[in-house]
């Protein structure tokens, strides 16, 4: 029975990989706390499994937090071309947690990553509570059509009032799958 179940899981994994249009490989995932008195415990872990990169980690705060701003930017680079800034946004994290943004792109990010968290966060963030991300990944269906093979660099900075709390850095590669199969796309307007 275990052999049949393992065989079915392997077949499902192979089919899932074959249907993906893009391979998103994260090479760096770092969370760097700036205010170590406020962030008493944290971790960040990057796992590679098949054609996906999984992100995990946790955060514990020493006191409750409200009014958090997020500055985020993402660049892509291709060989022989200049680096291109894809977006540079400032978000109110409490509005993001409440899913109050009208942008489809921001809502899709929220809906995608909320399923990987141990609890849906809301403001104020609780003191001495373990906020955990477990095996989160970027679904290739959210990427725009005709995205070239490229490297990406993303930076997220978290601020409380005017003090920097932490920064998160991502980098990696996006490449197309050699034999593209048609998969449903979620259209995103930036």
- What count of residues does the chain have? 190
Which of 1-5, 8-12, 54-58 comes out lowest in average pLDDT?
8-12
- Distance of alpha carbon 90 from alpha carbon 68, whole angstroms: 11
Which pLDDT score is estimated for 139? 79
Pairwise pLDDT comparison (103 vs 144), residue with the higher score: 103
Distance CA 40, CA 91 (A): 24
Taking only the tens place, the pLDDT of each residue in 37-62 is 999 999 999 999 887 899 999 999 99
Per-residue pLDDT at 105 exceeds 90: no
pLDDT value for 181:
52
User: Which residues, including other chains, have CB under 8 Å from residue 56's CB and lie 6 or more apart?
Assistant: 43, 44, 45, 47, 132, 133, 134, 135, 136
Max Cα distance, the chain (Å): 59
Average pLDDT over residues 117-136: 93
Average pLDDT of span 115-134: 93
Omega within 30 of 0 (cis) for the link into 124: yes
3-state helix, strand, coil in the chain (%, to 5): 20, 45, 35
Tens of pLDDT, residue by residue over 150-168, are 999 999 999 998 899 999 9
- Mean pLDDT of all residues in 51-78: 92
Query: According to the model, what pLDDT value does residue 14 have?
Result: 37
Q: What is the pLDDT of residue 23?
A: 87
Mean pLDDT check: name the lowest of 14-23, 134-143, 172-181: 14-23
- Quick check: 6 pLDDT over 90? no
């Amino acid at each position: 029975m275990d052999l049949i179940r393992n065989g079915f899981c392997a077949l499902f994994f192979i089919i899932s990989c074959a249907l993906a249009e893009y391979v998103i490989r994260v090479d760096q995932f770092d969370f760097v706390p700036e205010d170590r008195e406020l962030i008493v415990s944290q971790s960040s872990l990057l796992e590679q499994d098949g054609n996906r990169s999984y992100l995990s980690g946790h955060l514990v705060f020493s006191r409750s937090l409200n009014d958090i701003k997020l500055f985020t930017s993402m660049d892509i680079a291709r060989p022989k071309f200049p680096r291109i800034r894809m977006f540079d946004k400032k978000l109110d994290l409490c509005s993001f947690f409440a899913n109050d943004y009208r942008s489809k792109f921001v809502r899709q990010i929220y809906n995608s990553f909320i399923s990987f968290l141990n609890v849906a966060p809301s403001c104020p963030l609780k003191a001495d509570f373990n906020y955990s991300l477990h095996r989160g990944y970027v679904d290739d269906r959210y990427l725009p059509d005709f995205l070239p093979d490229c490297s990406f660099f993303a930076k997220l900075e978290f601020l409380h009032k005017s003090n920097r709390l932490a920064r998160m850095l991502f980098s990696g590669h996006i490449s197309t799958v050699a034999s593209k199969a048609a998969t449903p796309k979620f259209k995103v307007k930036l």
